[in-house]
Amino acid sequence: MTSNKRALGVIRLSELTDETTSPQRQREIITRKAADRHSRIIGWAEDLDVSAFKIPPAKRPQIAKWLARASEYDEIIFWKTDRFVRRLFPDFADMVAWSLKHDVVLVSAEEQLDLSGPMGRGYAAQLATFAEMESANTSMRVKGAHEYLRRNKRWGGGRSPYGYKIIDNPDGAGKVLAVNGMTADIVREAVRRVIAGESVNSIATDFSERRIPSPHMLKKPAYPGAKKAFCLIPRRWQDTSLRLILKDKAMLGHVVHDGMSVLGDDGMPLICAEPLVSADDWVKLQARLDITAIPNKRKNDPAMLRDIARCGLCEAPLYQWVKHQKGRAFSYYRCRYAYTWKAGQEKRCGAPLINAGKLDAVVDDMVMAYADQPDTERVIIPGDDHGKQLAGIRQAINSVTAEWTSGRRGDDEYDKTMRVLRAERDRLAELPNEPDRVVVKPTGKTRGEVWLSLDSQGKRRYLVNRGIKVYAHRDGGSELIVTAGGGELFGDILEGM
């Protein structure tokens, strides 16, 4: 029998390794259903490795294209409802509304679902409800399993923290973390160099030049024309990726979840592996990273005075701006409030553009005026104010309270744990406080020797690390007025032209 009904076959799979619901199997079932309905399939929407719970049909790459072409088919056939949607609201409700608007019938190949009549719509709502409940239950089971593994100091899956490797649990079932000799030495080297005063960016560059394997790998075809065979090659080290490693509490051997240390019943962090660094070095490292952090770093902005220069009129930050004209690029600094974001917006500052080369040269001369003086740098002397320990205790108290409130921790267990935490909090609060100190120490070189050895970005880090601020504007639109001060480089406010 010939039919004029046109059908779109829809295939979805969360994981490509799921053999029982493979794409080929779904295609066969949908094709057979179309034949039973005397429909002809005019196309396929295959979204593989896509979660129906997280991504609704309208946002899946393949089916979204077909939804925009509703006039080309009369019905959509899918294997089962839970392969099409997992949530009754809003996903399934939206698709029902869409089907009614475009006069397209939704059909399940292995369920009694046909939205061409009221009975089918009612049954569809019931099926979608059960699908949503099952997805929620599965999510809860997965979360519970990972929580169990973390509490028992076992590895829950995924890539291991840099410096560690995943091994079979020698004391029982599952996997655990162990120190990876090669990558652990790389982490320790980076920690030593940062504490000693070296920038994270320079260490990342050095690692790349030494071809040290980075935590991220690139996939490339193993041979020309290969489609499925890949070889892994290391990417270059980046400042941001190295900083993430150096700020990861996993290097202390802690069980970490969502960036936070998981606490045990005594309120202290759970230890799942041998620490890569000592607690004292961790404190020194974090203090050094906080000082040397340069916000909003962009690879395409090489301005020497970014994060340093400010407008001499309104004190807003100066940003680099490049003007292209007749094939040439002209670099300027301009005030954050001297230009507008949209048409009709008034400027908040009338400062004119400043030639970037001229301002950089003025600051260069200012520094070289002190070329013969001994160079100094700021060094963190860790104190003993117990602030970090108290913060950890407060975090633990909040976590335990949240678990008790949600019913995940019983009353007796809650009372026992809180007694321990409160006692430790009171003990730390009574200890003498001595905050961290920043001291200025000589580097053993003159300021001129250090400055002349640096490139543009090295000079920027040099000024940032020493707390220097530069204020600049063009008086009357022509004369460049520059003042600089702060930190230990300039004892007084300097003026230059």
Lowest mean pLDDT among 139-143, 156-160, 408-412: 139-143
Alpha helices in 152-248 (DSSP H): 181-195, 200-209, 239-246
Contact (Cβ atoms closer than 8 angstroms) between residue 39 and residue 5: yes
- C-alpha 286, offset from chain centre: 18
Would you state the pLDDT for residue 73? 95
Which pTM value belongs to this model? Answer: 0.38
Closest CA to 85 of 120, 65, 58: 58
- Within 10 A of 45 (CB to CB), how many other CB atoms are there? 20
Closest CA to 463 of 359, 355, 334, 329: 359
Structure-model confidence comparison of residues 343 and 365, the more confident one: 365
Would you state the pLDDT for residue 480? 87
- Res 383 pLDDT > 80: no
Domain extents for the chain?
6-139, 164-292, 309-379+438-496, 384-432
State the number of CA atoms in the 13 A half-sphere of 225 facing the CB.
Answer: 0
Structure-model confidence comparison of residues 305 and 440, the more confident one: 305
Task: Please give the angle made by the CA atoms of 81, 85 and 88, to the nearest 5 degrees.
Answer: 100
Would you state the pLDDT for residue 369? 87
Would you state the pLDDT for residue 177? 83
Amino acid found at 65:
K
- Res 129 pLDDT > 80: no
Report how far residue 113's alpha carbon sits from residue 283's, in angstroms, rounded to the nearest whole number.
61
- Res 162 pLDDT > 50: yes
Let me know if the fold of 6-139 is the same as that of 164-292: no
Q: Please tell me the CATH code under which domain 6-139 is placed.
A: 3.40.50.1390
pLDDT in tens, 166-224: 888 877 777 888 888 888 899 999 999 998 888 888 898 888 888 887 776 544 444 45
CATH architecture of structural domain 164-292: Alpha-Beta Complex (3.90)
Contact (Cβ atoms closer than 8 angstroms) between residue 285 and residue 195: yes
Lowest mean pLDDT among 116-125, 230-239, 381-390, 450-459: 116-125
Q: Grade residue 69 by pLDDT with cuts at 50, 70 and 90.
A: very high
Would you state the pLDDT for residue 167? 85
Would you state the pLDDT for residue 70? 93
Structure-model confidence comparison of residues 260 and 483, the more confident one: 483
Lowest mean pLDDT among 42-56, 178-192, 348-362, 404-418: 404-418
Would you state the pLDDT for residue 63? 93
Quick one: residue 393, left, alpha or beta (phi over 0 = left, psi -120 to 50 = alpha)? alpha
Q: Which residues contact 136 (CB under 8 A, 6 or more apart)?
A: none
Task: Please give the angle made by the CA atoms of 52, 58 and 63, to the nearest 5 degrees.
Answer: 85
Report how far residue 23's alpha carbon sits from residue 114's, in angstroms, rounded to the nearest whole number.
22
And the tokens for 189? Answer: 């080297």
What's the first-to-final CA gap in the chain, in angstroms? Answer: 91
Question: For residue 347, what are the CA distances in angstroms to 317, 336, 342, 353?
Answer: 15, 10, 10, 14
